[in-house]
Amino acid sequence: MTRPETPPSPHQLAELDLLLADRQSDWWDRFYADRAKPVPFFGTAPDECLSEWVRDGVIPRGTALDLGCGNGRNAILLARSGFAVEGVDYSQAALGWAGERVKEAGLGVRLHHASVFELSIEPAAYDLVYDSGCFHHLPPHRRESYVRLVTAALKPGGWFGMTCFRPEGGSGLTDEQVYERRTLGGGLGYTEQGLREIWGEPLRIHTLRQMKPQPAGSALFGQSFLWALLAQRT
């Protein structure tokens, strides 16, 4: 994955977005409309990796931002664990669900209805930025700006945790095919080398492992076709 010498302008990014209009907020609204669908991440179980890192004190308590927070299952784990949490998602249906869950749990999570690229994120404000399954739905031309926004949001020494598709979990499309076919095909898979190239330069990678699959009915979420990545802003 090569890095362009000059980042695309906001106008160029918006033009490229239009080429790939198959996975936008309205698509996610329809996806979240039926909460009874057997979608693994529609449950309440938080990610096993996040739970482990918090439990073991690898990620100390502090401020946290959950990017593409969906129904709030990870934001709620963080709030219960003592983090001051904000979540952002551009699907109103997802965010409404997260709001209901947060209220039911009696927790105080600040939820923002916005694209992660449009939210005004205070620089160096977060001890933890977390992303479970958002990055792999971003088109290739948004990768650079996403890495920049995550890095800018973190305090020095802050942590970035992420789960994303391994090659076998993604659509198998190359970046070139994404633009030829004008689709992400359901989300992009990443190789270990690809993730190290993307995240290893601005951040220091602490852990990059396969997510641990969880048995049915587990209180935790884990799928073997996902990576679990933990990196630190130096």
Q: Does residue 158 bind ligand SAM (CB under 6 A)?
A: no
Tokens of 191: 């190789």
Q: What is the C-alpha separation between 133 and 219, in angstroms, rounded?
A: 19
Contact pattern for ligand SAM over residues 93 through 112, marking x by CB under 6 A: -x------------------
Q: Which residues pair with 229 in a beta bridge?
A: 162, 208
- Walk across the sheet containing 154-165 and list its strands: 110-113, 84-89, 63-67, 126-132, 154-165, 226-233, 203-210
State in angstroms the smallest separation of the CB of 234 from ligand SAM. 26
* Rounded CA separation 85/108 (Å): 8
Residue 91 Cβ vs ligand SAM, minimum distance, rounded to whole Å: 4
**Cα separations in angstroms, 223 against 20, 149, 161, 177:** 27, 27, 16, 26
Q: Which of helix, strand or coil describes residue 206?
A: strand
Choices 56-64, 68-76, 168-176, 200-208; region in contact with ligand SAM by CB under 6 A: 68-76
Q: Which is nearer to ligand SAM, 69 or 102 (CB)?
A: 69
The reply on whether position 91 binds ligand SAM by CB under 6 A is: yes
The residue among 41 and 179 lying less far from ligand SAM, judged by its C-beta, is 41
Among 83, 90, 159, 227, binds ligand SAM (CB under 6 A): 90
- Interface residues with ligand SAM (CB under 6 A)? 28, 41, 68-71, 73, 88-91, 94, 115-117, 132-134, 137
